[in-house]
Amino acid sequence: MPSPAEIVTRFGGHPAAALGLDLGDEAGVFGWLAAACLLAASRSEPQALAAFRALESEGLLRADALAVAEPARVARCVAAAATPRPERPALLLVRIARAVRAREGGLAGLLAGADELASAGESLVGLAPGLGPATALRFLRPLRARFPSARETPLAASARAAALHLGWIAEGDDEEGAADALAARLLREPDAPDLADVEAALERLGRGSCAAARPDRCALAEACPLR
């Protein structure tokens, strides 16, 4: 049975780490929200990361810079990564940046001021039309340890399915999503990666097989516990 470290090594860690984002500061949190929006708009994770880097190269990943940028300029950067309908995520990012810039305390203040997951999600979705609940949940997952309002964010469905099949959580664990059960499992594992990295790796593993109940397509091949 592969270990959490082996799963992360094989399938990769969290996108925020790949992008060099520090989720302990406001700039990193805003950058991760932008990345989460690009992930929702893109056909694949590599495409979304390419769009992120195109914006970064133009200095458009700070809320103050993005808030005053022309949406057409942002769209050209996003289009460079072949993102479908680039004008949509471009306009969304500009609207989010304007809303964040106008809000005292920024994103950290928004999350710190929320008393539970539901209110945090509502505040995020309310930042701009087009920012949906799925993107809000993706954004909140790696922030569980920093903000109490994000703590109850459920695992991504494909990550939860993969964790169940690997035996890292049980069917009855944390019906809301099993993040606590998986975190507890990692604490018992020597040198286990961070929960965010493990969850991201499990999501990639589970997307093509576990969530679809297709062990024949599992990337673990003969190491798949369902074969």
Q: Do 72 and 170 share a domain, yes or no? A: no
- In a shared domain, residues 143 and 185: no
Q: Report d(CA 105, CA 126) in Å as an integer.
A: 16
Residue 152's nearest CA partner among 163, 161, 162, 143 is: 143
Which amino acid type is present at position 176?
Answer: E
Q: How far is CA 61 from CA 25, 27, 69, 78, 92, in A?
A: 14, 8, 11, 12, 13
Which of 105, 120, 150 is where one domain is finished? 150
Which pLDDT tens digit goes with each residue over 9-30? 999 999 999 999 999 999 999 9
Which one-letter amino acid corresponds to residue 70? E
Select from 56, 68, 135, 133 the least CA-distant residue to 98. Answer: 68
Same-domain pairing of 144 and 208:
no
Tally the domains of the chain: 2
Do 95 and 66 fall within a single domain?
A: yes
Categorize the per-residue pLDDT at 36 as very low, low, confident or very high, splitting at 50, 70 and 90.
very high
CB-based burial of residue 73 (10 Å sphere; 0-12 exposed, 13-18 middle, 19+ buried)?
middle
Residue 202 lies in a domain: yes
Nearest alpha-carbon partner for 55 in 79, 77, 34: 77
CA distance 162 to 209: 8
Co-location of 170 and 103 in the same domain:
no
State which of 150, 165, 186 marks the end of a domain.
150
Whether residue 163 sits in one domain with residue 138: no
* pLDDT above 90: residue 58: yes
Range of the domain at 165: 154-223
Residue 176 pLDDT > 80: no
Residue 189 DSSP SS3: coil
**Same domain (yes/no): 126, 36:** yes
132 and 185 together in one domain: no
Residue 190 covered by a domain: yes
Whole-number pLDDT of residue 191:
86
The tens digit of pLDDT for each residue in 145-156 reads 999 999 999 999
pLDDT score for 178 = 67
Q: Is residue 209 located within the same domain as residue 115? A: no
pLDDT at 215 over 90: no
Last residue of a domain, one of 120, 150, 180: 150
Mean pLDDT of the chain: 93
Using CA atoms, how far residue 148 sits from 45, 111, 141, in Å, is 28, 8, 12
One domain, residues 50 and 134: yes
Neighbours of 117 (CB within 10 A): 21
> Does residue 146 sit within a domain?
yes
Which residues 6+ apart lie within 8 Å of 119 measured at CB? 149
Position 84 in a domain: yes
Tell me what percent of the residues of the chain surpass a pLDDT of 70: 98
- CATH number for the domain that contains residue 132: 1.10.340.30
Whether 58 is covered by a domain: the verdict is yes
Q: What is the pLDDT of residues 122-146, one digit of tens each?
A: 999 999 999 999 999 999 999 999 9
Mean pLDDT of 70-87: 96
Residues 31 and 84 grouped into a single domain? yes
